[in-house]
A = this chain, B = another copy of it.
């Protein structure tokens, strides 16, 4: 029987993949993915047909997966981190509408926000908001409103896609919004390439964030009003009386 499994490969290293993800890569006929994520699991899929494409070709990858499944293939569609968080799960369901018979399974993975948090210490711990600064698919006004509301309600804030070559201004604009409600000394974490080659983890303050080299592989976590730094780690207390 044919199927499509949307395989959350986690932050990148074998050790952070789930057993189910590894099995799906082992049991499929074809692996489809963005080249960067394919390269991270290449050792596991040596004997498979591999179809990769570049950035922003998500639609093509999903269509290809549906086409191959309709031809009887078992397809692993790779999604870095967790496929359900800014990943490939949604787009596949949107495109699958007419292919009602395709057997689709989403295999959850360790999201990059969980990986980044584990390296920084324990910055999430309580209520948090996850916001992507990419205005490629979401209008900036919607992003700005989310930043404003998240800052006002004292959510810990995880910023995905903080910067790319074409979008250099969104991060400073976002920080201007957050700084209206949150102190410049608020602890912040910067994680580049969380839990994979090239990993850089750094704890700093909200007011100093722009001094650092931030790009599209970076995830930023902004603490809430209770977040503190201890032994180099960023910790948001849950509220236990100790």
* Chain A residues proximal to chain B, CB less than 8 Å: 8, 10-11, 14-20, 22-23, 58-59, 82-87, 89-97, 100, 106-111, 114-115, 117-119, 121-132, 137-138, 142-143, 145-146, 148-150, 152-155, 195, 230-231, 233, 235-240, 242
| Min distance, Cβ A196 to any Cβ of chain B, angstroms | 13
A107 touches B118 (CB 8 A): yes
A84 touches B239 (CB 8 A): no
CA distance A231 to B11 in the complex (A): 30
Main secondary structure of the interface of A (DSSP, over half): mixed
The 6 closest A-B pairs by CB, nearest first: A137-B239, A90-B122, A89-B122, A149-B153, A149-B149, A84-B117
Given contacts A110-B18, A130-B128, A242-B94, contact A148 B153 (CB under 8 A): yes
A122 touches B108 (CB 8 A): no
CA distance A150 to B230 in the complex (A): 30
Give me 21 A-to-B residue pairs in the complex whose CB atoms sit less than 8 angstroms apart, sorted by A's number: A18-B19, A19-B22, A82-B110, A84-B125, A89-B125, A91-B240, A93-B122, A93-B230, A93-B233, A106-B121, A106-B122, A108-B115, A108-B117, A108-B195, A111-B111, A127-B138, A146-B153, A146-B154, A149-B150, A149-B153, A150-B150
| Min distance, Cβ A154 to any Cβ of chain B, angstroms | 7
A108 touches B114 (CB 8 A): yes
- Nearest B residue (CB) for A115: B108
A240 touches B94 (CB 8 A): yes
Residues of B within 8 A of A10 (CB): 18
Further pairs besides A84-B125, A106-B122: 9, Cβ < 8 Å: A14-B19, A84-B114, A86-B238, A90-B121, A93-B121, A94-B242, A96-B231, A127-B129, A127-B131
